[in-house]
Amino acid sequence: MKNEDDSQVWNFVSEPNLHPIKVKVNVNKRGTQPGLIFVAPYTGNREETIAQPGSLIMDQAGNPVWFKPLKNRLIQNTDFKVQCYKGKPVLTMWEGSISGVQTNNANLPVGAPEPGAFFQIINQKYEVIKTVIAQKGYTADLHEFKITKRNTALFLAVKQVPADLSPFGGPGNGFIDNYSIQEVDLKTGELVFFWNVLDHLNPADSMLPASTAFVNNNIWDCFHINSIEEGPDNTLLINMRNMWAVYHIDKNTGDILWQLGGKQSDFILGPHASFSWQHDARFRGRNRISLFDNECCATPTSPPEGRARGLLLQLDFKSMKAVVDRTYYHDPPLIVGSQGNMQQLPNCNQFIGWGQEPYLSEFRKAGNTLKNPSKNLIYDMQYPDQYESYRAFKSNWKGRPGYPPSLTVVPLSKKTAEVYASWNGSTETAAWQVLAGSSINKLKIAGAQAPRSGFETKIKVNASGPYYQVKALDACGKIIGISQTIFVK
């Protein structure tokens, strides 16, 4: 990291090894859905960064709640979110290296996962309880990892398959990025479902020219699946960015039931319903689909750059027509070349991560238009220094760390000291109690309880120590965590 700027990075006395980004809240109006915010910020292939990469939970004011820094800038987390496993809330994420993102070296198409990547499941104590890797020679892909109600893991994986690309305008000795959908029993590790795109779709329908393989080590990323959603009647909804299309798949047969968008669309797209280079297709009932519509910018031959939007489409299966239901634009409107997602919250607000652009936003259900982007935008947060996050989520979460609170004491005089207390990941700490004494066995309460203040609470006490300890208290005053006792000279 380069020299830290206090306006853009957090520095803590009690956790000196944690340096998450410091965000700016641009809009915060009434009506937002309660919850915490989940992101995994990074800055691409920049040699120096102001903060550590990693997975970050924040409150709506932008204060860190939990931060897990990565070992170095060559590693990245994506798709960091709350899910349910065996009836209990867990955190899940992808971890690995991404070609051409952390470094300028792209041995695979830019944005592709490097071999060795994996998914992980973390419990409320912040312990890794499962790691999952792809099978059949595929690499775990960074875009999607879902835990099903069956306690299986449904995820994307990719591998490069040799192919003659000359009929498509590419190299003869080329490769195709072949994506698969894999489902693994989390108890046994058994592969219970497998589907690969090359068996079902024609690469010629791609909107990404095969000639791009010439500058990507002869590899053509013609499909680029970036989301999976379980649908009704044992089906899957699959989004393919580079096909400009969404597909509904029958899991029993593997057949495509219908295609929305792209060159072979089964639907007529109504006014302003067309989309391109999109992400995060989700069912919203049986006859509505949501998308993060990038409308930008994968190739020099792309259409004129559009403004990214959250998009809800109404599907009429009798007329096979798709029309716009609602749209959600940032204020000001953004050009977003990659990444992004739209999450429906319990109160029907829409929460949008703007991918390559350093924002996340919350909108009232009714949405807005390109001409009036401030309408119904009730929350907006901005990352510093060109940071971005593949996706952003808002969810409820109770973190109960399996490790003790952290404590640092700075003596001010013989009888006073400043105490810095924090507990990385605790969501239930409401106040701190400081104890001090002349020995470990003679600790006494030093002053009144101090309300928790952000990630780290600074407490001035009239106590000479030299032994100190803090206890974390919940809203009812119950002790929920005790730090180690430290000796301060």
- Identify the weakest region by mean pLDDT among 289-298, 314-323, 328-337, 437-446: 289-298
Do 198 and 67 share a structural domain?
yes
Predicted pLDDT at 3: 47
Looking at per-residue pLDDT, the higher value among 162 and 302 belongs to 162
**Domain-embedded: residue 178:** yes
Predicted pLDDT at 100: 81
Give the end of a domain, one of 345, 363, 395.
395
Do 471 and 339 share a structural domain?
no
Calculate mean pLDDT across residues 186-193. Answer: 97
Predicted pLDDT at 110: 83
User: What are 65-121's pLDDT values in tens digits?
Assistant: 999 999 888 899 999 999 999 999 999 999 999 988 766 667 888 889 999 999 999
Do 453 and 342 share a structural domain?
no
Calculate mean pLDDT across residues 318-342. Answer: 97
201, 155 contact by CB (below 8 A): no
Which among 340, 262, 349 is positioned nearest to 294, based on CA atoms? 340
Do 153 and 36 share a structural domain?
yes
- Identify the weakest region by mean pLDDT among 96-110, 287-301, 440-454: 96-110
Question: Total structural domains in the chain?
Answer: 2
pTM: predicted TM-score of the whole model, two decimal places:
0.96
**Domain-embedded: residue 401:** no
User: What are 237-264's pLDDT values in tens digits?
Assistant: 999 999 999 999 999 999 999 999 999 9
Do 61 and 206 share a structural domain?
yes
Do 176 and 254 share a structural domain?
yes
**Domain-embedded: residue 12:** no
The CATH number for 362's domain is 2.120.10.30
The CATH number for 419's domain is 2.60.40.10
Predicted pLDDT at 475: 97
Pairwise CA distance, residues 277 & 304, whole Å: 13
Distance of CA 398 to the CA centre of its chain: 18
Predicted pLDDT at 149: 96
pLDDT at 276 over 60: yes
- How many CB atoms within 10 Å of residue 34? 10
**Domain-embedded: residue 87:** yes
Query: How far apart are the two ends of the chain, measured CA to CA in Å?
Result: 32
Calculate mean pLDDT across residues 7-20. Answer: 96
For 59, the domain range is: 24-395
Do 279 and 193 share a structural domain?
yes
User: What are 123-147's pLDDT values in tens digits?
Assistant: 999 999 999 999 999 999 999 999 9
In order, the DSSP letters of 96-154 are E-BTTTSSS--SSSTTPBPTT-EEEEE-TTS-EEEEE---TT-EEEEEEEEE-TTSEEE
Pairwise CA distance, residues 82 & 345, whole Å: 13
Q: How confident is the model at residue 294 (pLDDT cuts 50, 70, 90)?
A: very high
**Domain-embedded: residue 179:** yes
